[in-house]
Structure 1
Amino acid sequence: MKKNLLALALGVLVMGSAVAPAVAQDTTKPRQEARMQKHKGERKSPEERAQAKTERMDKELDLSKSQAKKVKALYLKEAKEHKEKRAHFKKGDKKDAAAREQMRAEMMAAHQRHNEEMKDILNKKQYAKYEEIQAKKRAKHEQQRDSRKSHKGERQHRS
């Protein structure tokens, strides 16, 4: 009996030492570090976000200089509003369903205003391409969300 128990304990130790190096070489570490920095409050300023979005739009849609200025002003205004709403929402009770629904309605209205202003800034060809890009982003986001939901379900069933 003691020999069997000793052999079992020795086997567990050997298996543990064989698995430890593989666990130590986790490939998700850079992603975790980026997430940690994001949650430390090291977010980009509204100006930096507006500049990055404008550069991306300029590259994708070949904006004129006047269009680029208008787009940057629009994104800057939105980034500042978003920062204020985020701060206001953090102060409130996040678990309150009514507050969440109100925030969602405000975000949808802001998104609608943004699209209207973009339609005024861009020409028809650029706006069509802009809508196509937005549709691709939405599809990618939904796919990621569905993937996270399925992974979450798998984790819950394992427990």
Structure 2
Amino acid sequence: MAALALGVLVVGSSYAQHAPQKERKHRTEHREERGRKHDNDRKTPEERAAQRTERLSQRFDLNKSQQRKLQALNLKYAQEMAAKRQDYRRANERGKMRRDMRESHAKWEAELKGILNKKQYARYEADRKERYARWQERQDRGREDGRGHRGHSQRS
């Protein structure tokens, strides 16, 4: 009986050593996955505009005329922001870049309103408010967890 128990333990422990284990991701793999979210840095303004147009066209069921107008609008602002982004990076002016991006986005939204019909724009506004609420929730949750901006610990 003792020999049988010993045999089971030996076989069990050797199996545990050779059993496939969940592979842990290396730190750089995690960064790469997060980086996909920020792939826009590697895209051309044309690619960004096309992607944004496609996403909004599907979301708001745009007709062909609206799609053409939206593509032109998105391209205009994507090119404008690409040029500004390079200037800001060289000058290391994040605050100014944020302000300009907000202004640019407000202008984009004003022009978007002229492309969408009332029902589509109402849906756009509702989506925007929902995104803002989710963002606000994440910000609040981060503060409750004792983290500051971008998850860094706050020091007393």
Q: TM-score, normalised by structure 1?
A: 0.66
- Counterpart of 1:156 in structure 2 is 153
Query: How many percent identity over aligned positions?
Result: 37
In structure 2, relative to structure 1, the CA distance for the partners of 1:46 and 1:147 (3 Å cut) is: farther
In structure 2, relative to structure 1, the CA distance for the partners of 1:92 and 1:29 (3 Å cut) is: closer
Deviation at 1:143, TM superposition (A): 2.8
Secondary structure of 1:156's counterpart equals: coil
User: Matches of residues 5-154 of structure 1 in structure 2 within 5 Å?
Assistant: 25-26=24-25, 30-35=29-34, 43-94=42-93, 100=95, 102-149=96-143, 150=145, 152-153=147-148
The structure that is helix-richer by fraction is 1
> Hey, what's the Cα distance between the residues in 1 that align with 2:36 and 2:55?
23
Segments of structure 1 that go 5 or more residues without pairing to the other structure are 1-21
Deviation at 1:103, TM superposition (A): 3.2
Which structure has more relative contact order (CA 8 Å, sep 6+)? It is: 1
In structure 2, relative to structure 1, the CA distance for the partners of 1:80 and 1:58 (3 Å cut) is: same
> Hey, what's the Cα distance between the residues in 2 that align with 1:41 and 1:133?
21
Look up the equivalent residue of 2:147 and give its one-letter code.
K
Contact kept, 8 Å, 2:60 with 2:120, in 1: the verdict is: yes
Q: TM-score, normalised by structure 2?
A: 0.67
In structure 2, relative to structure 1, the CA distance for the partners of 1:155 and 1:131 (3 Å cut) is: closer
- Counterpart of 2:6 in structure 1 is none
Secondary structure of 2:62's counterpart equals: coil
| Matched residue count | 134
Segments of structure 2 that go 5 or more residues without pairing to the other structure are 1-20
